[in-house]
Amino acid sequence: MKQISASDKDTVTIVIGAYSVVKDALGRILPQFAADWEAKTGKKVVFQESYEASGTQARAIAGGMEADVALLAMEGDIDKLERAKLINSDWKQQDAYQGMVTRSVAVIGTRKGNPLGIRDWTDLTREGVNVLYPNPKTSGGAQWDINAIYGAGLKMAAEQGKDGPPFAKQLLMRVHHNVLSMDKSGRASMAAFEYGVGDAIVTYENEILSRKREGVPYGMVLPKHTILIENPVVVVRKYARKHQVEETAEALVAYLREPKAQRMFAEAGFRPVNEQVAKETIKAYPVPDGLFRIDDMGGWDEVREKLYSNRGVWYQVLAGIE
């Protein structure tokens, strides 16, 4: 855990438990919040920051890692905190954003110039195309990736007049056949790609955009059918109250949705949830014709049961069960 310490009696310490992909954006946003909060209240804010794969982070917080604020990859990981009685059960109804702080979409990252001519998910099934994505057992980002491929298969099947679930399962199975490795987090998977592993990576749009803005010559394919990724943030009530930092934690969560922070998220490649900033950045974030949401797949409860249960589609893909 990264720690910034201070001895001033007027200093508030906020513990952040976040998923790995958001680290770079928070590296800019948190110091700005601290400066603004001190100017407003006279109190300094310092942060203890932990970044892990989303599922790993959620389990750590549920198991006793006393985060005051949690930013995780998906609603299901926040549900782990609810089941541990660390947060309010109505966390999605407490603001106009339904608990979300950023959006993205699942994309395919390629090598410079897209030498293999990848245009859609089906191209990842071709012989000789080496693919990366992280492990959905540990990574929330990986579940979004798997949902994107499977959900796209359902949409393609509907267009072709075919039975959706078998078609989608076959698409996922054929893509997985070409996967070289599954790292524990989206950030670790991206690091492997940066080291030269693989021809293509299934990842968040922001992961590719942030590197392209740094001058890394990756290609990015936005498939016709892909999923809208929505990332939640929550005050971990039990721990924030214990640490007597609830007011500051709530202010931070509100700040993350304000235009200043949302612009910094956008500069890091995320799609804003703030309407004003979304309008400002609309040209940078095209909407695919076949964009779908998790609700179009039945919602998280149904997806977890259908895809990730002990006998679900993902288990069958790993086991090679046709």
Residue 6 has pLDDT above 50, yes or no: no
> What is Dmax (Cα atoms) for the chain?
67
Which of 47 and 94 is assigned the larger pLDDT? 47
Confidence of residue 10 (pLDDT cuts 50, 70, 90): confident
Do 86 and 61 touch, CB atoms closer than 8 A? yes
Report pLDDT digits (tens) over 26-81: 999 999 999 999 999 999 999 999 999 899 999 999 999 999 999 999 998 999 99
> Could you tell me if 113 and 241 lie in one domain?
no
Q: How far apart are CA 136 and CA 155, in angstroms?
A: 22
Confidence of residue 285 (pLDDT cuts 50, 70, 90): very high
| Per-residue pLDDT at 194 | 95
Q: How far apart are CA 285 and CA 277, in angstroms?
A: 12
| Per-residue pLDDT at 208 | 96
Beta-sheet strands, E only, within 53-193 = 69-71, 100-110, 131-132, 179-181
Q: Across residues 189-203, what is the average pLDDT?
A: 96
Report pLDDT digits (tens) over 266-278: 999 999 999 999 9
> Could you tell me if 98 and 108 lie in one domain?
no
CATH of residue 271's domain is 3.40.190.10
> Could you tell me if 93 and 119 lie in one domain?
no
**What is the value of pTM for the model shown?**
0.90
Candidates 153, 196, 193; CA nearest to 173 is: 153
Candidates 68, 65, 72, 114; CA nearest to 229 is: 72
Residue 3 has pLDDT above 80, yes or no: no
| Per-residue pLDDT at 8 | 57
Q: How far apart are CA 109 and CA 86, in angstroms?
A: 37
> Could you tell me if 112 and 250 lie in one domain?
no
> Could you tell me if 91 and 180 lie in one domain?
no
**What is the number of structural domains in the chain?**
2
Q: Across residues 279-306, what is the average pLDDT?
A: 95
> Could you tell me if 213 and 277 lie in one domain?
no
> Could you tell me if 9 and 150 lie in one domain?
no
Do 177 and 125 touch, CB atoms closer than 8 A? yes
In this prediction, what percent of the chain has a pLDDT beyond 70?
A: 97
Report pLDDT digits (tens) over 130-189: 999 999 988 888 999 999 999 999 999 999 999 999 999 999 999 999 999 999 988 899
Amino acid at site 94: Q
Confidence of residue 1 (pLDDT cuts 50, 70, 90): low
> Could you tell me if 115 and 154 lie in one domain?
yes
Domain that holds residue 34: 2-102+231-284
Give the DSSP letter string of 244-263: T-HHHHHHHHHHHTSHHHHH
Handedness of CA 183, 16, 62, 274 (dihedral sign): negative
In this prediction, what percent of the chain has a pLDDT beyond 90?
A: 88
Mean pLDDT of the chain: 94
Range in 168-177, 205-214, 257-266 the model is least confident about: 205-214
Question: Can you give the length of the chain in residues?
Answer: 322
| Per-residue pLDDT at 75 | 92
| Per-residue pLDDT at 104 | 96
> Could you tell me if 313 and 190 lie in one domain?
yes
> Could you tell me if 79 and 169 lie in one domain?
no
> Could you tell me if 108 and 38 lie in one domain?
no
Token pair for 210? 């942030």
> Could you tell me if 173 and 115 lie in one domain?
yes
Contacts of 19 (CB under 8 A, 6+ apart): 51, 52, 53, 54, 57, 71, 72, 73, 77, 140, 141, 185, 186, 231
Q: Across residues 205-213, what is the average pLDDT?
A: 92
| Per-residue pLDDT at 5 | 45
| Per-residue pLDDT at 230 | 96
Phi (first) and psi of residue 28, to 5 degrees: -95, -40
Q: Work out the burial of residue 163: count CB atoms within 10 Å of its CB; fewer than 13 is exposed, 13-18 middle, 19 or more buried.
A: exposed
| Per-residue pLDDT at 187 | 87
